[in-house]
Amino acid sequence: MCGIVGFSSRSVSACGPLVNGLRRLEYRGYDSAGVALASERDIRVFKRTGKVAELDRLLNAELPENERSTYTLGIAHTRWATHGLPTEVNAHPHVADGGNLALVHNGIIENYAALRAKLEARGCVFVSQTDTEVLAQLVATFDRGDLLSAVSQALKQVEGTYGIAVISRRHPGEMVVARKGSPLVIGVGENATIVASDVSAIVSHTRQVIYLKDGDVARVLPEGVDVFTLDNVPVSREMQEVEWDAGAAEKGGFEHFMLKEIFEQPETLRNTIRGRLDRVDGTSVLAGLNLPPRDLASIRRAVIIGCGTSLHAAMVGKYLFESLADLPTSPEQAAEFRYCNPIIGPSDWAVAVSQSGETADTLAAVRESIGKGALVSAICNVVGSTIAREAGRGVYLHAGPEISVASTKAFTSQVTVLLMMALKLGRTRRLSREEGLRLCEEIGGLPDKVGEVLKENDRIAAIAAKYAEAEDMFFLGRGILYPTALEGALKVKEISYVHAEGYQAAELKHGPIALLGEHTPVVALLNDIPGKEKTIGNVQECRARRAPVVGVVTAGDDDAARHCNDVIVVPRTSAACAPIVTAVALQLFAYHLARIRGCEIDQPRNLAKSVTVE
């Protein structure tokens, strides 16, 4: 949510790296963008509403190539509006001290109104409606010759979350950055230091990075970084090497990141599974969980917490934990969980699921669970993310960077990790070695099964074309496929703006069936697993109301197919693996629907990838 980049060098112009960095972070927000460039003489600020491409056009028009080389320090921002409309005035960077100081911010300053009133009483004049401008003015009031100390003093007055980068004409060559609750990574290269909200904006410069911790403030120079606490105590932060390279964050010949990420899934699942199946004892090896069988066996209840797509994975997790390990499990929407004073304690296991590892509500739920003495684990994709670090134990997805705003490959990897967790749990409770070995075999075969779904791409595109004019759709699933129905509907809503609802197959007739008619397609998940016959009954109810039915059907299952107007074929799997192959089919369906409707697939309106506000 909002992307920040900072660049500091002695010899290289900051302009290109900042704009390129913003392009990489555009998935975090894209309603306006801006850059502040510093030379020995001045700071120049350029802002535009709309996408980074607009900002780039402005820079090309107003900053000739020969002038750019003098600006070797700069900060930049791409915005997802929280306070104030997405206008040029509200776009970052915000300036203070008569334009001498510039600041970019990701997060929310909760006490900004009180701070603003105090500053106004002292004569500060504000031009925007943002909380960020308040922070910029506050830092300027503390500047007595040491920028780092001014930032620290200002931040001590702030309630809320922030990832910030600040430059000032009074402190040439220096950038100060800080974080609390919003991610910030520093890449240390040979000729430059680059700061960003996530590593995708850094890897084209260097793979050597430092992840700041909450409460850190750092002085960034072209030669490197010094990190302190807000009380000015130096702290050391380990340099780490990023696993993937710049190529992983490119479209690789696909028209959209979303399509690339859908097609990557055989590979991403292989990476998720690699080295984690024990085909001798029929269990899984999840070292990061750090829970010996004795601890696993003593867990009385699990809660699996997430938002959006990750919540849907959590809901699948409930079926897996209960059916494979007899462990009572409840999926929890993170914001609801954190504010309901949850009953959770030392015999409970809280599992937080988050692709980004930065979602504010999920992080708060993790803290709540830790505070109440529960055992806490995380399932994250982004290595070193806040949730991964605070949970302390967990399992990484290893799915590589997910750039498309609509989550795809993260979902299938999340479900696969939950499946491997269920296998491990199950083996400490009730699964026999033989059952465990069968499950290992199935999990190991998932990448190829997903590959088979991808071969259906053209057929799925043709079916999507038939329904591309629909304005309402229903997705029906039963049992373990119900969360997948929700996920299919979410994908359609997000990227094609078609109103789509996921329902338990049996629930439709308790009200929503009133909406069905010939213009309301129903996507029914009819995989050949227990419960299918009942769902076929629900399909008949839909057809009796003239609703056209697209069935997701197991290959060769003519019995299910004959009840549908159109059929998307998926390979045969057990119930435990059915959500994975089915989700991939629905991702393709949603993708083609959006493409045919001419929607902006990778950056849908109003959305942002990483939701770091409550």
Residue closer to ligand F6R (CB basis): 133 or 487: 487
Contact 411, 262 (CB under 8 A): no
User: Which has the closest alpha carbon to 91: 52, 61, 43, 42?
Assistant: 52
Stretch that binds ligand F6R, among 181-189, 230-238, 354-362, 370-378 (CB under 6 A): 354-362
Give the residue numbers marked as catalytic: 2, 609
Size of the site for ligand F6R (CB under 6 A): 15
CA 511 to chain centre: 33
Residue with tokens 């939950």: 418
**Interface mask toward ligand F6R for 243-282; x: CB under 6 A:** ----------------------------------------
Write the DSSP string, 166-231.
EEETTSTT-EEEEEEBS--EEEE-SSEEEEESSGGGTTTT-SEEEEPPTTEEEEEETTEEEEEETT
Which of 108, 376, 547, 611: binder of ligand F6R (CB under 6 A)?
611
Residue 167 tokens, joined: 């430059």
Min separation Cβ 82 and ligand F6R, Å: 15
Is there binding between residue 413 and ligand F6R (CB under 6 A)? no
Q: Does 385 bind ligand F6R (CB under 6 A)?
A: no
- Are the C-beta atoms of 113 and 83 separated by less than 8 Å? no
Per-residue buried b or exposed e for 417-429, using 16+ beta carbons within 10 Å of the residue's own CB: bbbbbbbbbbbbe
Closest by Cα among 582, 564, 587, 563 to 572: 582
Q: Is 358 helix (H, G, I), strand (E, B) or coil?
A: coil
Q: How far is the CB of 321 from ligand F6R (least distance, A)?
A: 19
Q: Is the dihedral of CA 282, 288, 289, 294 positive or negative?
A: positive
Nearer to ligand F6R by Cβ, of 380 and 446: the residue is 380
- 554 is a site residue for ligand F6R (CB under 6 A): no
Q: Which stretch binds ligand F6R (CB under 6 A): 170-178, 280-288, 352-360, 537-545?
A: 352-360
Strand (E) or helix (H) holding 422 = helix 409-429
Binds ligand F6R by CB under 6 A, chosen from 78, 359, 496, 554: 359
Question: Considering the complex, what minimum distance in angstroms separates the CB of residue 487 from ligand F6R?
Answer: 8
Q: Which is nearer to ligand F6R, 407 or 428 (CB)?
A: 407
- The C-alpha atoms of residue 442 and residue 138 are separated, in whole angstroms, by 58
Query: Could you say which residues in the range 156-195 bind ligand F6R, by CB under 6 A?
Result: none
Query: Looking at beta carbons, which residue is closest to ligand F6R?
Result: 308
- Does residue 42 contact residue 169 with C-beta atoms inside 8 Å? yes
Looking at beta carbons only, is 168 or 603 nearer to ligand F6R?
603
Residue 126 or 254 having the CB closest to ligand F6R: 254
123 by Cβ neighbours in 10 Å (0-12 / 13-18 / 19+) ranks as: exposed
Query: Quick check: 412 binds ligand F6R (CB under 6 A)?
Result: no
Part of the chain binding ligand F6R (CB under 6 A), chosen from 88-96, 179-187, 197-205, 353-361:
353-361
What's the rounded Cα separation, in Å, for the pair 204 and 537? Answer: 54
User: Does residue 355 bind ligand F6R (CB under 6 A)?
Assistant: yes
Sole binder of ligand F6R in the list 407, 484, 496, 527 (CB under 6 A): 407
Rg (Cα) of the chain, in Å, rounded? Answer: 25
The torsion angle over the Cα atoms of residues 77, 80, 82 and 85, rounded to 10 degrees, is 90
Residues 303-332 that bind ligand F6R (CB under 6 A): 307-310
Q: At what angle do helices 433-454 and 409-429 cross, to 10 degrees?
A: 170
Q: Which stretch binds ligand F6R (CB under 6 A): 113-121, 250-258, 351-359, 418-426?
A: 351-359
For ligand F6R, the closer CB: 103 or 399: 399
State in angstroms the smallest separation of the CB of 591 from ligand F6R. Answer: 12
Residues near 66 by Cβ (< 8 Å), separated by ≥ 6? Answer: none
Peptide bond into 64 cis (omega under 30): no
Least separation, in Å, of the C-beta of 611 and ligand F6R? 5
Does 403 interact with ligand F6R (rule: CB under 6 A)? no
**Minimum CB distance to ligand F6R, residue 410 (Å):** 6
Contacts of 233 (CB under 8 A, 6+ apart): none
Is residue 416 a contact point for ligand F6R (CB under 6 A)?
no
C-alpha distance across the termini of the chain, in Å: 11
- Among 33, 344, 406, 594, the residue binding ligand F6R under the rule CB under 6 A is 406
CA distance 65 to 411: 44
Q: What's the CA gap between 400 and 198, in Å, rounded?
A: 13
Would you say 265 or 356 has its CB closer to ligand F6R?
356
The single residue among 106, 152, 354, 412 that binds ligand F6R, judged by CB under 6 A, is: 354
The smaller minimum CB distance to ligand F6R, of residues 382 and 529, is found at 382
Q: Which stretch binds ligand F6R (CB under 6 A): 180-188, 289-297, 317-325, 350-358?
A: 350-358
Asked if 492 is part of the footprint of ligand F6R (rule: CB under 6 A), the reply reads: no
Q: Which is nearer to ligand F6R, 353 or 420 (CB)?
A: 353
Q: Which lies closer to ligand F6R via its Cβ, residue 281 or residue 339?
A: 339
580, 527 contact by CB (below 8 A): no
What single-letter DSSP state applies at residue 537? H
- Phi, then psi, of 611 in degrees rounded to 5: -95, 90
* Least Cβ distance, residue 400 to ligand F6R (angstroms): 14
Does 356 interact with ligand F6R (rule: CB under 6 A)?
A: yes
Query: Is 494 one of the binding residues for ligand F6R (CB under 6 A)?
Result: yes
Footprint of ligand F6R on this chain (CB under 6 A)?
Answer: 307-310, 354-356, 359, 362, 406-407, 490, 494, 610-611
